[in-house]
Amino acid sequence: MRTALDAWTILSVSAGVFFFLAGTVGLLRFSDTFTRLHALTKADNLGVGLVVLGLLPRAGSVLAGLKLAVIWFLVLLAGSTVSQLIARSARSRRPRA
């Protein structure tokens, strides 16, 4: 049981780390603001999400697990609204192409 849980944590956390890698590469390599924004939100949603999923079985109590889930939800909320706000502000400031 213990090994299975550990394997799950390793798998899920590694996948989360991969999405942070993807987010960083996207932020550095993509060509304009909007595509970079797209890369960024992947790290938010999936990176933190998978890390939270990986750590969930290790949370000692229901409250600790709930806190992890709330953190994920808050990161999702912040990521989606802030990316919308940035995109709108970037579009309104850019000269009409």
Partner 1 sequence: MTEAFDILLAALILGLALWTAIARETFAAVLGFMAYGLLLTLVWVRLHGVDVALTEGAIGGGLTGVLLIGAAARSRATESVSLAERPGTLTRALAAGLAAAVASALAVCVLILPVPAPTLAHEVAANLASTGVGNPITGVLLAFRAMDTLLEAIVLLFALVGVWSLAPDRAWGGRPGLRHSADPNGILAYVARVLPPIGVVVAMYIFWVGADHPGGKFQGATILASMWLLVMMAGLADAPPIRRSWVRVGLVAGPVVFIAIGLLGAWTAGAFLAYPDGLAKPLILVIEFALMPSLTLTLGLLMAGAPQRPEAP
Partner 2 sequence: MSDFLFGASSLVLGMVALGLTRILRGPDDADRLMATLLLGTGGIAALLLLGAASGDAAVVDVALTLAVLAVFAGVAFVRAAPGEAADGAAPDDTP
Tell me which residues touch partner 2 (CB under 8 A): 6, 9-10, 13-14, 16-17, 20-21, 23-24, 27-28, 33, 36-37, 40, 43-44, 47-48, 51-52, 55, 58, 60, 64, 67-68, 70-71, 74-75, 77-79, 81-82, 85-86, 88-90, 92-93, 95
* Phi, psi for 48 (deg, rounded to 5): -65, -40
Cα-to-chain-centroid distance, residue 78: 10
Map residues 39-68 to x or -, x wherever contact with partner 1 holds by CB under 8 A: ------------------------------
Cα-to-chain-centroid distance, residue 96: 31
Tell me if 81 contacts partner 1 by CB under 8 A. yes
By C-beta, is 4 or 63 nearer to partner 1?
A: 63
Alpha helices in the chain (DSSP H): 2-29, 33-42, 49-55, 62-93
What is the Cα–Cα distance from 93 to 96, expressed in whole angstroms? 9
Binding site for partner 1 (CB under 8 A): 70, 74, 77, 81, 84-85, 88
